[in-house]
Structure 1
Amino acid sequence: MLIWFAVYSQGISLPLAGLTPVTWHAHEMIYGYSLAVVAGFLLTAVGNWTGRPMLSGWPLLLLFLCWLLARLSLLAGGSTYLLVAAIFDLLFLAGLILAITVPIVRARLWPNLTIVVKLILLLTGNLVFFLGAAGRLEHGVYWGLYSGLYLVLALIFMLSRRVLPFFIENGVGYPVKLRNSKWVDIISLVLFTGFWIAELVQPNGLTVAVLAVSLFILHLWRWLGWYTAGIWKKPLLWSLYLAYAAIIAGFALKAAVYVVGISPYPGLHAFAVGGVGMMTLGMMARIALGHTGRSVFEPPPGLGWMFMVLGAAALVRVVLPLLDAAHY
């Protein structure tokens, strides 16, 4: 983000392996930052789910180096560096897929293979992006970026469904049973898959708007079913709850692109900054506390301020362009 600030606001020019600054920024926030957080979460969680040892030592270092070299290569210049970045980025994803697939299969936790499927689709999306960036596939950059963002959201939906009600029920300090429905899970998956495909085929069209409204209503119903007043006393709960709300708002803004003609980018940043950003920060904080022997029920007071700053950034990034599109 510091590099993006320098490029965007200070006019600093960087080679970026031949990518435009906006394309580089979008790719790195999705396939760089978001997937790094996904990798960290899964390399911890899958071990807990399966009871199997996960990557450590040199194999883990090699996985990290693949990720790092892909990031550094994209800051260099020329098509050769784009190829190097593609190789290391795809190796990182392939290594992550292998690292979580083996323990899941050995533990016979077959339902968790849906996570592996999403990671394979993310690898495919990243490959499509690089083919587009290299001029080998028309629309490849657009398809790769939007597929990456929506697949990250799909992972958030799946993991939120699994852990967010559990965190709330166990964290508010009083008995509460939150609402969930398998039918909502199934309908949400079908509608979101259709939304993703429609966005690739006819961006911001009528089909996208109809599906976005449907997803807004569906996830709003789910979100309200997870509410209990005790979350507001726990930053590690309200941060995740508001992150989910930002994604819901993103669907409303995506529908508004077709209905009233607003820019598509506030909706994208509701998904990305408010949704992915807040959700990943909240999960990183929770995992860091838990794995360093500190209580997730009594976190340091600075965490609340950290979440509020990010929430303010999301509001600025989403709301101000709606009020003054000329300075977006």
Structure 2
Amino acid sequence: MQSPVHISPPGKKLPDNQYALFNLGFRPFFLLAAAFAVIAIALWSWKYTQLSSLSLSTVTASQWHAHEMLYGFAFAVIAGFLLTAVKNWTGIQTLHGRPLMALVACWAMARCVMLIAPDQVLIAAGFDLCFNLWLIAAVAQPVIKVKQWRQLGVLSKVILLTIGNAAFYAQATGLANNGAHAALWMGLLLNVSLIMVISRRILPMFIERGVKEEVSLKNAHWIDRLLMVALVALLINILTLDAEKANVVLGLTIALLSSFRLWRWHTPGIWRVPLLWSFYCGLWLMNAGFFIYALSFLNPGMSQILAIHCWAIGGIGVITLAMMARVSLGHTGRNIHTPPRSVHWIFGLIMLSALCRVLLPLIHPEIYRLSVMLAATCWIAAFALFCVTYWPILSQPRTDGMAG
């Protein structure tokens, strides 16, 4: 499997002064996803402290917040990654220029409506689902053209995310009495599943090429298959019977299998490479979410919301930042082995956000609200610093003068 990071796509040289933000999918989507992560959490923090309600009455404020992070922020990162990776995997040019600009505009319009005028949710739904369906078509066309059927597993998750998004909007627009609960669990666990699939493909290779010591890492296919089966079973159980014993068994199964896989991937050299230890720590934090989720059914004092935020901040937040930081360097012709110094602060802040949101309430439940605000502050600082650091990298042409 060719990596979407290490291989520079072929193409003609570009003029040095060309504005490059819409040359390839990762550029606008990574930058806007990071900016949105700052704005959305800042707005949510204000609503949280003010105890203010939404003008939208069909979903709760917490459901609105979760939707915007899972189907707004995370979906944008997925779009940027896939539009870039599929070009490398298939050798076929994906959306760029004005078509990419139009796709970004659909996503951005949906986010603006949901943040500024959520009562106009029907407009947001139209733009958002247009973005989802257009992305599916843009990713599927080159995959089908070159018959890379193994990529259909990744594509199927994007299709399921679109179905989940439609289910949320069905309730939000009043077309259905429920749907948001299922949509948010689908959004969360499908994002986790995508991270597991992609990390299984690329992290061992990243480690082998990124550490100074000579190491050869292998994957066990039985672990990969069992993890996916257990994840599917967990999601189905949550959405149907929600049997507590099944949740415990499946949560612990995923946690233990993933722990074993991460242990097999470990080599001391990763701790000297920020673009490796950040990814590795994010996977462990995501894995911790499954332990906490299982234990929440055994210990009444442990809330499921801690597991959810361990997945969302520690898993999705940390790993998306690590991936965006690496892809943005590799696909702009820069050296991934010498990232900007600020990445240490970026990764440290986002991990501190996860610890404040998950660990601090376990140790000191009496300062729960303070822990939430500390987590939000660290999250905002991490993504704001990413925007400042990576804006010139993402908006300027490749350093080698090639297209992309």
In the superposition, the TM-score normalised over structure 1's length comes to 0.95
Pick aligned residue for 1:74 from 114, 133, 151: 114
**Range with greater deviation from structure 2 (133-142 or 304-313):** 133-142
Q: Residues 327, 274 of structure 1: CA spacing in aligned structure 2 closer, same or farther, 3 A cutoff?
A: same
1:134, distance to aligned residue in structure 2 (A): 3.0
Whether the 8 Å CA contact 1:18–1:78 is kept in 2: the answer is no
Pick aligned residue for 1:61 from 68, 83, 101: 101
One-letter code of the match for 2:194? L
Pick aligned residue for 1:168 from 207, 214, 217: 207
**Which residue number corresponds to residue 146 of structure 1?**
185
Pick aligned residue for 1:283 from 308, 313, 323: 323
Pick aligned residue for 1:91 from 112, 122, 130: 130
Q: Distance in 1 between matches of 2:210 and 2:135?
A: 31
Pick aligned residue for 2:359 from 305, 312, 319: 319
One-letter code of the match for 1:6? W
Q: Distance in 2 between matches of 1:304 and 1:211?
A: 35
| 1:260 aligned counterpart, secondary structure | coil
* Residue deviations 1:260-299 (CA, integer Å, cap 9, x gap): 1211011001100000000000000001111222211121
Q: Residues 37, 78 of structure 1: CA spacing in aligned structure 2 closer, same or farther, 3 A cutoff?
A: closer
Whether the 8 Å CA contact 2:168–2:183 is kept in 1: the answer is yes
**Which residue number corresponds to residue 305 of structure 1?**
345
**Range with greater deviation from structure 2 (223-232 or 18-27):** 18-27
Whether the 8 Å CA contact 2:258–2:287 is kept in 1: the answer is yes
**Which residue number corresponds to residue 48 of structure 1?**
88
**Which residue number corresponds to residue 181 of structure 1?**
220
Q: Distance in 1 between matches of 2:94 and 2:57?
A: 34
1:76, distance to aligned residue in structure 2 (A): 4.1
1:62, distance to aligned residue in structure 2 (A): 1.0
1:2, distance to aligned residue in structure 2 (A): 1.3
Whether the 8 Å CA contact 1:15–1:76 is kept in 2: the answer is no
* Residue deviations 1:22-61 (CA, integer Å, cap 9, x gap): 1111001000000000000001110011100110111111
Q: Distance in 1 between matches of 2:50 and 2:328?
A: 34
Q: Distance in 1 between matches of 2:53 and 2:244?
A: 35
**Which residue number corresponds to residue 22 of structure 1?**
62
**Which residue number corresponds to residue 32 of structure 2?**
none
Pick aligned residue for 2:233 from 156, 180, 194: 194
One-letter code of the match for 1:103? P
Whichever structure has more helix as a proportion of its residues is 1
Give the unaligned 5+ runs of structure 1.
Answer: none
Pick aligned residue for 1:134 from 166, 173, 194: 173
Whether the 8 Å CA contact 1:17–1:77 is kept in 2: the answer is no
1:11, distance to aligned residue in structure 2 (A): 4.5
One-letter code of the match for 2:280? Y
1:13, distance to aligned residue in structure 2 (A): 5.8
Q: Distance in 1 between matches of 2:42 and 2:334?
A: 30
One-letter code of the match for 2:357? R
One-letter code of the match for 2:67? H
**Range with greater deviation from structure 2 (13-22 or 143-152):** 13-22
* Root-mean-square deviation (Å): 1.6
Q: Distance in 2 between matches of 1:39 and 1:176?
A: 32
Q: Residues 299, 321 of structure 1: CA spacing in aligned structure 2 closer, same or farther, 3 A cutoff?
A: same
| 1:137 aligned counterpart, secondary structure | coil
Q: Residues 78, 223 of structure 1: CA spacing in aligned structure 2 closer, same or farther, 3 A cutoff?
A: closer
Q: Residues 315, 78 of structure 1: CA spacing in aligned structure 2 closer, same or farther, 3 A cutoff?
A: closer
**Which residue number corresponds to residue 122 of structure 1?**
161
Whether the 8 Å CA contact 1:132–1:140 is kept in 2: the answer is yes
